[in-house]
């Protein structure tokens, strides 16, 4: 294996880790505030679909790929936000079991995106504006990234990316700072660990939970946009293929911390990135077994660490104000 | 043990006949309103996506045509009713699987994967293992149950031993099951000289008999499903083991304190749940398909959760809930044909039903119903990651 293969594999690792990390960040915001969120899968699927739909129709209307993709991204974020709002209302206001609420959203997403696909995308859809370009190909900041890519070894691995992948790396750092170095983060964690104590000290438990679940929805929306607007430029039903759930496993493996989640997501990303290599080396081995690797790793990781990784104490428990 | 049984079961017997009837009726109010509300909202979605505001008359006609088509397709066309029962059969077994796991405090999202493992096991026994008539069918059904049961027992064991949450483990096992069955059907079990990847046809001795001559497809799988409902109801309510499963589901710590082996109960509850879903796959192969193609079916995993919740995890309630879903699934094609509204709208309607059933507070607020006065604190269906 030569150096170029190693570099491009590590680059692909970060690329494939992007939606998984964003799903994990969605979980970190939501669960640090005490709301279990297994709806990230459905949120990402919906965002992928809605974002793609919006980019198609705005491309048809304006004829320019850049603005169309930008509008698609906005639509994807809004879709994530909307489903997060549904999850928040059902689980915070109506105090429904949060895992059931998340499952409902996942089912709703499969049905609704399937409906949209059949009604608007399967036949007679306008042409796609394509996908996001590499950062170095963007006007303005492209020059800077063109230079950064030239750094030996690390340059192509860290900077030869499209916008959402790079934004993901930034958001991991931002989330770490917000969660552990700001008042907001302290209050969020307090609400997730001991809502009653936080309430007594004047923290608005419901407000903190709503906002954090919604921020999580934005993260999932960005993760969904990665599939259609950055990675492939088309939408196919169920294309998220469990990445939202794998993201939750990454969050647990990373002990509900953003940087830990990135590390775990990188492991899953690597499992995907090496698949083409494995298929070349073991040509006669059925490909289905290589495709199982990320799912098997997820189970091993969960079985191996969950007992030792403690969730926020009030995670999953509705709060009833006295 | 007996002491605990007495104290936990004490509130169960009702005071009299009238009270009993009222309990049943009041229990039906929320699910019924949930179904009706979801169907109405589904109509609104069809109306809107058929250009509701632009051409209101046409959109209304289209919406009505959609629901008329749904009804005709589900009940009134030739053989529709048979086909609805055919569609109901796997739903009963898969819904029962999820409901059974809920009773033990476990959330089985893995019915789909267990279904496939059961289907492939039953198909293999059906074509590769020549046995005398009745015995062959029984062995093939048992293979379906065992195939799904082993696949289901894995998350039960992992949860009990390591704390790995069954929601994520069962979902991961679903993906692994798809890939595994895809490989099996494409390579080792593939029928020779067949253009599409599928297993060979099962032998006549393994087929579930049909009630009417072809082309009617109503098969005796429905009897297997109804028999399973009765057995599970009896098992949960009349046996010590069933009582232990319900106790673990209601309060794990109390169960452990009372000396129950929670690990064993978890593995058994998920194993039986997986077995029921596997039986659904087996019945579908032995009664309907007669072989297992690649990409055989989809959607049983999530639908079965909706059915279990609609039935409020009551085994007897599974039958009407599954019938409703079977009718919706069967009527969807004609609905699409008559109105042009994509049949995927049915999944949206089902998701809304599930939402309203899972959050009864929404339905109560919508129809200004009072919360039940004797609000018996229901056991939580599932918990956060901790337990």
Minimum Cα–Cα distance from A92: chain B residue: B359
Whole-angstrom CA distances from A91 to A97, A203, B288, B359 are: 7, 19, 41, 9
Angle between helices A183-193 and A3-32 (to 10 degrees): 70
What is residue B369's three-state secondary structure?
coil
Chain A residues in contact with B384 (beta carbon < 8 A): 36, 98-99, 311, 315-317
Q: Look at residues B264, B281, B229 and name the one whose alpha carbon lies nearest to residue B114.
A: B281
What gap in Å lies between CA A63 and CA A68, rounded to an integer?
8
Give the best residue of B50, B98, B171 to mutate against chain A (max A CB count within 10 A): B171
Query: Which residues partner with B198 through β-bridges?
Result: B293
Contacts of A127 (CB under 8 A, 6+ apart): A56, A59, A60
Per the CB < 8 A criterion, the answer to whether A237 and A52 are in contact is no
Chain A residues in contact with B350 (beta carbon < 8 A): 107, 111
The reported pLDDT for the residue numbered A103 is: 84
Cβ pair A104:B354 closer than 8 A: yes
Cβ pair A242:B362 closer than 8 A: no
Cβ pair A107:B302 closer than 8 A: yes
> How near does any CA of chain B get to the CA of A166, in Å?
28
* DSSP annotation string for B38-71: HHHHHHHHHHHHTTTTTSHHHHHHHHHHHHHHHH
Structure tokens at A9: 């594999």
The reported pLDDT for the residue numbered B2 is: 39
> How near does any CA of chain A get to the CA of B154, in Å?
10
Cβ pair A296:B384 closer than 8 A: no
What gap in Å lies between CA A253 and CA A271, rounded to an integer?
16
Does A110 touch chain B if contact means CB atoms closer than 8 Å? yes
Does A202 touch chain B if contact means CB atoms closer than 8 Å? no
| Selected residue with higher pLDDT from B373 and A312 | A312
> How near does any CA of chain A get to the CA of B379, in Å?
11
Minimum Cα–Cα distance from B347: chain A residue: A111
> How near does any CA of chain A get to the CA of B223, in Å?
29
| Selected residue with higher pLDDT from A306 and B101 | B101
pLDDT in tens, chain B (387 residues): 333 333 344 344 445 677 778 777 777 888 889 899 999 999 998 888 877 677 888 888 888 999 999 999 999 888 899 999 999 999 999 999 999 999 998 989 899 999 999 999 999 999 999 999 999 999 999 999 999 999 999 999 998 888 888 888 998 899 899 999 999 999 888 888 888 889 999 999 999 999 998 889 999 999 999 999 999 999 999 999 999 999 998 888 888 899 899 899 999 999 999 999 999 999 999 999 999 988 655 678 778 988 998 888 899 999 999 999 999 989 988 998 888 888 888 888 888 888 888 778 788 888 888 776 544 445 455 555 554
Cβ pair A299:B169 closer than 8 A: yes
Structure tokens at A286: 């059925």
Cβ pair B158:A299 closer than 8 A: yes
Cβ pair A90:B359 closer than 8 A: yes
Mean pLDDT of chain A: 90
Decide if pLDDT at A306 tops 70. Answer: no
Neighbour tally for B370: CB within 10 Å: 6
Beta strands in B124-177 (DSSP E): none
pLDDT bracket for residue A176 (50, 70, 90): very high
Chain B residues in contact with A39 (beta carbon < 8 A): none
Q: Any idea which residue has 């990781």 for tokens?
A: A301
Cβ pair A315:B382 closer than 8 A: no
Whole-angstrom CA distances from A182 to A177, A186, A187, B25, B168 are: 7, 6, 9, 53, 32
Domain B22-366 top-level CATH class: mainly alpha
Helices (H), B163-257: 166-186, 221-238, 240-250, 252-257
Per the CB < 8 A criterion, the answer to whether B267 and B157 are in contact is yes
| Residue B205 CB-density burial (10 A; 0-12 exposed, 13-18 middle, 19+ buried) | middle
What gap in Å lies between CA A46 and CA A50, rounded to an integer?
6
Q: Which of residues 31-60 of A touch B (CB under 8 A)?
A: 36, 38
Chain B residues in contact with A271 (beta carbon < 8 A): none
Q: Look at residues A44, A53, A18 and name the one whose alpha carbon lies nearest to residue A241.
A: A44
What gap in Å lies between CA A100 and CA B323, rounded to an integer?
22
Contacts of B81 (CB under 8 A, 6+ apart): B75
Does A306 touch chain B if contact means CB atoms closer than 8 Å? yes
pLDDT bracket for residue A208 (50, 70, 90): very high
Contacts of A69 (CB under 8 A, 6+ apart): A55, A129, A130, A131, A132, A229
Domain ranges of chain B: 22-366
Chain B residues in contact with A95 (beta carbon < 8 A): 361
* DSSP annotation string for B309-345: HHTTT-GGGHHHHHHHHHHHHHHHHHHHHHH---TTH
Phi first, then psi: give them for residue A134, nearest 5 degrees: -65, 155
Query: Which residues partner with B210 through β-bridges?
Result: B219
What gap in Å lies between CA B24 and CA B320, rounded to an integer?
14
Q: The pTM is what?
A: 0.86
């Amino acid at each position: 294996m030569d150096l170029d293969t190693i570099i491009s594999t590590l680059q692909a690792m970060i690329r494939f880790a992007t939606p998984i990390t964003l799903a994990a960040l969605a979980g970190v915001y939501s669960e640090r505030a005490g709301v279990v969120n297994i709806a990230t899968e459905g949120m990402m699927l919906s965002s992928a679909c809605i974002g793609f739909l919006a980019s198609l129709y705005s491309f048809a209307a304006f004829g320019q790929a850049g603005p169309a993709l930008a509008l698609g991204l906005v639509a994807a974020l809004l879709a994530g936000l909307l489903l997060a709002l549904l999850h928040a209302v059902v689980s915070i206001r109506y105090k429904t079991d949060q895992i059931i609420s998340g499952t409902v959203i996942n089912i709703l997403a499969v049905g609704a995106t399937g409906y949209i696909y059949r009604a608007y995308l399967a036949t007679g859809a306008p042409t796609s504006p394509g996908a996001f370009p590499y950062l170095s190909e963007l006007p303005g900041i492209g020059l800077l990234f063109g230079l950064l890519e030239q750094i030996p070894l690390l340059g192509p691995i860290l900077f030869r990316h499209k916008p959402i992948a790079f934004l993901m790396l930034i958001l991991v750092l931002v989330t770490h700072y917000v969660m552990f170095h700001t008042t907001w983060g302290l209050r969020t964690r307090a609400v997730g660990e001991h809502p009653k104590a936080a309430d007594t000290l004047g923290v608005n438990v419901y407000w903190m939970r709503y906002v954090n679940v919604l921020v999580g929805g934005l993260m999932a929306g960005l993760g969904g946009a990665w599939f259609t607007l950055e990675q492939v430029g088309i939408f196919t039903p169920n294309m998220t293929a469990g990445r939202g759930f794998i993201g939750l496993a990454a969050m647990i493996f990373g002990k509900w911390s953003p940087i830990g989640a990135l590390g775990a997501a990188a492991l899953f990303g690597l499992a995907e990135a090496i698949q083409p290599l494995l298929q070349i080396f073991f040509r006669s081995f059925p490909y289905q077994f290589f495709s199982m690797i990320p799912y098997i790793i997820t189970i091993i990781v969960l079985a191996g660490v969950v007992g030792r990784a403690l969730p926020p104490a009030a995670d999953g428990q509705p709060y009833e104000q006295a | 043990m007996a002491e605990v049984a007495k104290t936990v079961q004490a509130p169960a017997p009702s005071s009299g006949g009238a009270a009993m009837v009222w309990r049943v009726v009041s229990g039906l109010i929320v699910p019924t309103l949930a179904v009706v509300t979801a169907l109405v909202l589904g109509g609104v979605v069809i109306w809107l996506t058929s250009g509701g505001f632009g051409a209101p008359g046409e959109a209304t006609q289209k919406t009505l045509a959609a629901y008329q088509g749904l009804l005709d397709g589900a009940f009134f066309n030739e053989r529709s009713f048979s086909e609805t029962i055919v569609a109901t059969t796997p739903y009963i077994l898969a819904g029962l699987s999820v409901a059974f796991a809920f009773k033990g405090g476990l959330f089985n999202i893995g019915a789909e994967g267990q279904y496939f493992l059961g289907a492939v096991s039953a198909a293999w026994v059906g074509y590769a293992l020549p046995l005398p008539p009745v015995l062959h069918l029984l062995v093939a059904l048992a293979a379906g149950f065992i195939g799904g049961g082993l696949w289901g027992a894995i998350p039960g064991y992992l949860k009990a031993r390591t704390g790995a949450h069954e929601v994520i483990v069962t979902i991961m096992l679903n993906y692994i099951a798809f890939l595994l069955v895809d490989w099996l059907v494409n390579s080792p079990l593939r029928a020779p000289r067949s253009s599409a990847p599928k297993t060979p046809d099962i032998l006549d001795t393994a087929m579930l008999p049909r009630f009417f001559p072809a082309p009617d497809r109503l098969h005796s799988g429905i009897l297997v499903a109804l028999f399973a409902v009765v057995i599970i109801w009896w098992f949960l309510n009349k046996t010590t083991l069933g009582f232990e499963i319900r106790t673990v589901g209601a309060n794990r710590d109390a169960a452990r304190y009372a000396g129950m082996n929670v690990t064993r109960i978890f593995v058994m509850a998920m194993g039986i749940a997986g077995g029921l879903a596997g039986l659904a796959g087996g019945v579908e192969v032995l009664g309907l398909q007669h072989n297992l193609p690649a990409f055989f079916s989809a959607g049983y995993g999530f639908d079965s959760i909706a059915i279990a919740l609609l039935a409020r995890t009551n085994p007897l309630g599974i039958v009407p809930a599954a019938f409703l879903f079977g009718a919706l699934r069967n009527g969807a094609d004609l609905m699409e044909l008559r109105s042009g509204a994509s049949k995927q709208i049915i999944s949206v309607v089902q998701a809304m039903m599930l939402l309203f059933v899972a959050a009864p507070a929404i339905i109560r607020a919508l129809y200004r119903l009072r919360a039940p006065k004797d609000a018996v604190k229901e056991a939580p269906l599932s918990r956060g990651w901790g337990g």
